[in-house]
Structure 1
Amino acid sequence: MKLSVIILNYNVRYFLEQCILSVQRSIKNIDAEIIVIDNNSPDDSCEMMRRVFPEITCIENKENVGFATANNQAVAIAKGAYVCILNPDTAVTETCFKEVLAYAEQHPNMGALGTFLMDGTGDYLPESKRNLPTPGVALKKMMGKGHKKNGYYASHISEKGEGEVAVLVGAFMLLKRDVYNTVGGFDEDYFMYGEDIDFSYRIEKAGFKNRYLGSTAALHYKGESTVRDKTYLKRFYGAMHIFYEKQLSLTSWQKILVKMGVFAARAAHPLLGASAKRQRTHIEQSIVFTNDFSLLKKLSAIYNDELSSSAIAVLEDTILHNTEIIFDADYISYQRIFTFMQQMSNKGNRFKIKPPGCNFLLGSDQSDSKGSVVKF
């Protein structure tokens, strides 16, 4: 088997369904499998899996064992020569896995591979490619200089470019299963956050090269897996402390300074800063791009008839502003949806997607806050 796609789920039932549907499209002509592992979700994720995707292996944990342990569980039963660690709050294009596998085959010494990740507003997520967060680099980020040269983010590669990069994000990581096993998988001392940094670092220490491929895009509703609250801060900065203690050769004085710095950063972190960066704009119109009249009728009831429909040709020639744009993924490919979202980001637009064959819409207006599910 060529590929095993590993999706770790916790309490995001509707986003998980879209993720699987998009992956199924992308692996259509690839010898591949999907493995879902659920960390004791309190919603009906597992019931949905049994009902909608009975053919897919779903491991149902009886407790939340965290990111590292759960992914290691799934990879242990994977059959693919390659594995892709994928968040449930993502969606991929129809050609994603064909493209990343072809790229991987061209780079035999490759460690992990990441792609261009965008949020629900169409904005690029800079954590798609990062430098090693040494204490100095982390300090730059806390001072708002993460995008500078040699900063937290790997700015030496353009967003749409490709090349070697030190650290990738765990929302999308493709690598050979042999490489995964060679480095021992994810370090289970981490519960959530920091595992991807540690994993990327150990891959490179083992002699492989992590790479970034910006020509392939994926959607990541980041707020579904990264809610900025006190628990997040405790886990994130705790993970960074574990990484510094285990992986970097620091003197005793440096360890003391790092511990003080991590504590200070956690105490001073602006919890709402990231979510406040995008101001909500007034929506002047709502348009659904579909050729399904029954869908238009159902959505019109929700939008009180303040909804119009249009053909995809309109998007080819027009840049919309201050518009709620609904994409029907039964009518438009994810590839084109992502392209349109990028073209029309930062223009006051909001985006929602109806996954193929589904009776709900998904969207997110903020990178670091919960998205929305509209059922009809």
Structure 2
Amino acid sequence: MPVDVAAVVVTYNSADHIIELLDSIPSAMGALTYSLVVVDNGSSDATLDVLATRSDCATVRSTNDGYAAGMNRAVRASEPAEAVLILNPDATLDAGAVPAMLEVLRKPAVGVVAPRVREADGSLSPTLRRGPTIGRVGGLSFTGWPAFTERIEEPAAYETEHEVDWAVGAILLVDGGLYARLGGMDESYFLYSEETDFSLRAKDAGWTTVYTPAAGAMHIGGGSGESATTHTMKQLNRIRLYRRRAGTLRTWVYYVMTVLIEVRRALLGHDKSWPTVRALLRPSRRPPALNASDSVLPR
């Protein structure tokens, strides 16, 4: 029998965080009916031991074929539902958060809902984003100009409900029919950009992504850590996403600007940027999981 919400989580070495998330879900759901599925992408820590002690979720063991693939696997293993609640394992939900998000999701043409998110210290987490453009390739937030800034940092933007291009995917409520219509998350994005791609494809299909301050959550961020490899994945997937939406010529400009920005970051001491520069310039240095054949980058 269908439920109101199918909550789905993908874990990877998440033993330090998953308990807090699972404990927060019942009060966050309120009176809604729901299922809860956790897909573990091959954790080597105690994540599976922790999950084995829980009776409030179904656990699916998997090899690590990417976050998007894990999320789609979790949805397939879930009960049919009006909405899919996407959760990172290092997030926790406030009481009543999901009914508040579902109320917004039920408005006409709304396909994705993002809540107000705070950091572990209680400060606002700026999770709202503008769509990718050549001007925003460097994330020049210090300018304060939307034309050059992907991340929305103005506090006023987090005070009212409104449409956004996309939001960080740590906590998102997605219309179940839309998720199926779009074929779920694009699994060619092994890690990063999958939520950007999903919201932009939803917009192409006539659905909006809406932020609401009526629902709250906390996200620690970096629960599985960032390495030089994941930093490289982030930059390469940004280029891949841009190419699919802008075409080859403009993507070459985007690519060259990305290289220059990463060189600058490396010279300023960002130790993860030199491996990224090498991967950008030499396809053989790119993480195999990225399947870089679908890329404008030289081979």
Q: Same fold judged by TM-score > 0.5?
A: yes
Alpha-carbon contact 2:9-2:87 (below 8 Å) kept? yes
Matched, 1:148 2:145: yes
1:67 matched to which residue of 2? Answer: 67
Partner of 1:84: 85
Q: Are the aligned partners of 1:90 and 1:220 in contact in 2 as well (CA < 8 Å)? A: yes
Query: What do residues 92-138 of structure 1 show as CA deviations (whole Å, max 9, x unaligned)?
Result: 11110121112222x12101110111111222121x21110212122
Contact 1:112 1:175 in 2 (8 A): yes
User: Shift of the alpha carbon at 1:225?
Assistant: 4.1
Aligned residues: percent identity? 23
Does 2:116 match 1:116?
yes
Q: How does 1:123-202 map to 2 (within 5 A)?
A: 123-126=123-126, 128-139=127-138, 141-142=139-140, 144-145=142-143, 147-150=144-147, 151-154=149-152, 155=154, 158-202=157-201
Is the 8 Å Cα contact of residues 24 and 94 (structure 2) preserved in structure 1?
Answer: yes
1:269 aligned to 2:265?
Answer: yes
* Preserved contact between residue 129 and residue 167 of structure 2 (Cα < 8 Å): yes
Equivalent pairs counted in the alignment come to 264
Displacement of 1:46 in angstroms is 1.2
Q: Secondary structure of the residue that 2:210 maps to in structure 1? A: strand
Shift of 1:251: 4.9
Mapped to 2, the partners of 1:149 and 1:258 lie a distance apart of 17
Read off the aligned partner of 2:146 and give its amino acid letter.
Answer: K
Q: Distance in 1 between matches of 2:140 and 2:108?
A: 36
Output the CA distance in 2 between the equivalents of 1:10 and 1:202. Answer: 27
Give the drift of 1:268.
3.0
Cα deviation, 1:195-217, whole Å, max 9, x if unaligned, reads 11111110100110110012322
Partners of 1:85 and 1:162 in 2: how far apart? 20
CA distance in 1, matches of 2:19, 2:264: 37
Maintained 8 Å contact 2:118/2:218: yes
1:232 is the counterpart of 2:234: no
Question: In the alignment, which residue of structure 2 is the partner of 1:23?
Answer: 25
Match for residue 95 of structure 2? Answer: 94
Shift of the 23–269 alpha-carbon distance from structure 1 to 2, 3 Å rule, reads: farther
Unaligned runs of 5+ in 2: 271-299
* Alignment match of 1:48 (pick from 47, 50, 54): 50
Do 1:167 and 1:197's aligned partners in 2 also have CA atoms closer than 8 Å? yes
CA 1:75–1:269 in structure 2 vs 1: closer, same or farther (change >3 Å)?
A: farther
- Contact 1:112 1:174 (C-alpha < 8 Å) held by counterparts: yes
TM-score (norm: length of structure 1): 0.66
Q: Which has the larger radius of gyration?
A: 1
In structure 1, the residue matched to 2:285 is none
- SS of the counterpart of 1:238? helix
CA distance in 2, matches of 1:98, 1:200: 21
Amino acid at match of 1:58: T
Matched with 2:281 is none
Secondary structure at the counterpart of residue 2 of structure 1: strand
Q: Would you say the 8 A contact 2:193–2:237 is kept in 1?
A: yes
Q: TM-score, normalised by structure 2?
A: 0.82
**TM-fit CA distance, 1:153:** 2.6
Aligned partner of 1:238: which letter? L
Code of the residue aligned with 2:129 in structure 1: it is R
Gapped regions of structure 1 (runs ≥ 5): 274-376
State the 1:27 CA deviation: 2.0
Per-residue deviation, residues 14-36 of structure 1 (Å, max 9, x unmatched): 31111010012222421111111
Aligned alpha-carbon RMSD (Å): 2.0
Query: 2:137 is paired with a residue of what secondary structure?
Result: helix
